[in-house]
Amino acid sequence: LDRESDVRNLRHVSRHSGRIATKPWSLTWLSTMDLDPTSINHDRKILRAQIWPHWGSTPLVEITTHPYKAWKNSLEATYSANYVR
């Protein structure tokens, strides 16, 4: 694990922040993105359709490798690689 790299590349989530559930965190994240409205709408659609139903109430720190990979594999079995990416 390269925490310094995670911090530099804005992938680090502090222990305190990690206790927040995925849905409220993602709403905050989305509001900070500097994207055109079409991209924001696309991201919001993905959040509503795939991420929030599965992870919405899950605290960020509880999303670990194995549950994430199982979820991703279930998406890959249903949707195109471009959609899942």
Residue labelled with tokens 């680090």: 12
Instruction: List the chain domain ranges.
Output: 3-84
Which helix (DSSP H) or strand (DSSP E) does residue 8 occupy?
helix 3-8
pLDDT per residue as tens, the chain (85 positions): 566 666 565 555 665 566 889 999 999 999 998 999 999 999 999 999 999 999 999 998 889 999 999 999 999 999 888 888 7
Give dist(CA 37, CA 51) in Å, integer: 20
